[in-house]
Structure 1
Amino acid sequence: MRSQDREEMRRIGFFRGVDDPEQVDAMLRGAFLQRFPAHVELIQTGEPADFLHVIVDGTVEMFSGHRDRETTLGVSGPGDSFILAAVLFDRPYLQSARALTAARILMVPAEAVRQAFAADAGFARSVAESLALAYRGLIMELKNQKLRSGLERLANWLLAHDAANGSKGRFDLPFDKKVLAARLGMAPEVLSRSFAALVPYEVVVQGPSVVIRDPAVLRKLAQPCTTIDGATL
Structure 2
Amino acid sequence: MSVETSVLARSKLFAGLGSNTANMLLKHAEIIRFEPRDFIVRENQRADAFFCVIQGYVRLFKTNEVGRAADIRICEPRDTFAECLIGGGGIYAYNAQAADNIVLARFNLDGVRRLAEEDRALDRNIMQLMADHLLVTMECVASDRLQTAPQRVANYLLSQCSPGKPSETVRLPYQKSLLAGKLGLAPEALSRAFGSLKKAGVTVRGRTVRIDDIAALRQM
Q: TM-score, normalised by structure 1?
A: 0.84
Change (3 A) 1:90 1:9: farther
Partner residue, 2:86: 87
Give the alignment's Cα RMSD to 1 decimal. 2.3
Partner residue, 2:111: 112
Secondary structure of residue in 2 paired with 1:162: coil
The offset of 1:156, in angstroms, is: 0.7
Secondary structure of residue in 2 paired with 1:174: coil
Distance 1:207 1:187 in 2: 17
Partner residue, 1:64: 62
Matches within 5 A, 1:1-233: 8=6, 11-13=9-11, 14-19=13-18, 21-66=19-64, 67-163=66-162, 169-221=168-220
Q: For 1:30-58, what per-residue CA distance to the aligned partner results, in whole angstroms no more than 9, with x for missing partners?
A: 42111222221111111122111111121
Q: Contact (CA 8 Å) 2:4, 2:54: kept in 1 or not?
A: no
What percent identity do the matched residue pairs reach?
24
Distance 2:146 2:93 in 1: 25
Change (3 A) 1:216 1:126: same
Flag structure 2 segments of 5+ consecutive residues without an equivalent: none
Aligned residues: 217
Q: For 1:102-140, what per-residue CA distance to the aligned partner results, in whole angstroms no more than 9, with x for missing partners?
A: 111111100011111111011111111111111111111
Q: Contact (CA 8 Å) 1:48, 1:90: kept in 2 or not?
A: no
Distance 1:161 1:7 in 2: 27
Query: Quick check: 101-110 or 173-182, which moved more?
Result: 173-182
Distance 2:8 2:205 in 1: 42
Change (3 A) 1:109 1:148: same
Q: Contact (CA 8 Å) 2:167, 2:213: kept in 1 or not?
A: no
Flag structure 1 segments of 5+ consecutive residues without an equivalent: 222-233
